Amino acid sequence: MRSPCAVASYLSLGLVSALIVVESARAEPPFVYERVQTVVLTGPQNPSTDMQVVLDQYARLVPQPIATLTTAEARRQPTLADAVNAVLKTRGKRGGSEPVAQIADRAIAGPAGEIRLRVYTPTADGTGPMPVIIYFHGGGFVIGSVDSYDASARALTNAAKAIVISAHYRQGPENKFPAATEDAFAAYQWTLAHAAEINGDPRRIAVAGEGAGGNLAAGVCIRARDSNVPVPLHQLLIYPLLDSRTDTPSYSENTNVIPFGRPLIDWYLDHSVSPADRINPRFALLRAASFDDLPPATIITAQIDPLRSEGETYARKLREARVDVAHRNYEGVVHDFFGLGAVVPQARSAVVFAGGRLQQAFKDAAPIGR
């Protein structure tokens, strides 16, 4: 494992002349580290104070650059969620996961073996049947799990007052596209057929996802429409990865942002999708033939994120197709901020916004028995 000083060197090496400026080192026991702050050539995009606290703590966890690792090594690296828990510990507080009424793990049959699900019931669960959200975690189709995105699922189930089914899926390089896409659709179809088994309402089902999971959630909506399967009631797309292009404005602004910049996204794509499939409209959803008749959408993007432009473009394409869209971009935060609400206020705001939109969508739909 590298020393904290080695990690600081990694964070600063070669980036000063590009998009990241490293401030002077400052001593903080028990070691000296360098504080990383993003500064882009077209204008400053500085992390908020609370976001910077998380990034500083993340550096203390001694992450190695994922783009230089094997997939097994990458899956063992610390995350921003780990950094949040470490920040809370320094403040004498417990971990940042919200309490929920119940959590249950289960497995269902998928196209190529079992699909792991984790079912969250909100604290104010009522009597049911309850609306259901099937949620797909991030991780670039390579890393990430229902465990590492537990905080997002917990926050979403309480904010939306709905059951959340967090679904895992096959990942690259062991299983490249379309494996994750197939698993996601299978998990959605299972939810349609079995929602009642978990006290859910099959008439009120939404999809949600972060990053790569946002791609899967949007893809479920398109495939359901094209397959004459009931479409989700709503789609929540959180900084979704929706194309393989790397020449957008947000890529130019955030190429070398740590921890989520172009080198990492290139590594994700290399490990999860073949070169020929990178323009496949089932993967690069911005290239879909039609955006008509898709469910209403809530799209959340982060200012300091190479994927920001993709979310903005998808929101525009949906609006042009007369789909109801609410899009909010959160300033001063990086990719993967949504589950960091225990420390980062913008994350709490994003969760409340998403939960409110979902609650309204569920309210507008007639529950079973009405």
CA 162 to chain CA mean position, Å = 19
Interval 341-365 mean pLDDT: 97
pLDDT at position 366: 65
Which range, 5-19, 119-133, 207-221, has the best average confidence (pLDDT)?
207-221
Interval 290-305 mean pLDDT: 98
302 Rama class: left (phi>0) / alpha (psi -120 to 50) / beta: beta
Mean pLDDT, the chain, whole residue set: 88
pLDDT bucket at 258, cuts 50 / 70 / 90: confident
Give dist(CA 171, CA 180) in Å, integer. Answer: 6
pLDDT at 2 > cutoff 50: no
How many contiguous H segments (helices) and E segments (strands) does the chain have? 11, 12
3-state SS string for 92-149: CCCCCCCCCCEEEEEEEEECCEEEEEEEEECCCCCCCCEEEEEEECCCCCCCCCCCCC
The predicted-structure confidence for 176-208, as pLDDT tens digits, reads as follows: 999 999 999 999 999 999 999 999 999 999 999
pLDDT at position 8: 34
Percent of residues, the chain, with pLDDT higher than 70: 86
- Residue 173: phi and psi, rounded to 5, are -85, -5
pLDDT bucket at 97, cuts 50 / 70 / 90: confident
Interval 221-227 mean pLDDT: 98
pLDDT at 36 > cutoff 50: no
Q: What is the pTM of this model?
A: 0.88
Interval 254-283 mean pLDDT: 94
DSSP string covering 38-96:
E-BTTB--PPPHHHHHHHHHHHHT----GGGS-HHHHTTS--HHHHHHHHHHHTT---S
pLDDT at position 259: 83
Interval 329-355 mean pLDDT: 97
Distances (CA, A) of 24 to 12, 27, 44: 11, 10, 18
pLDDT at 235 > cutoff 90: yes
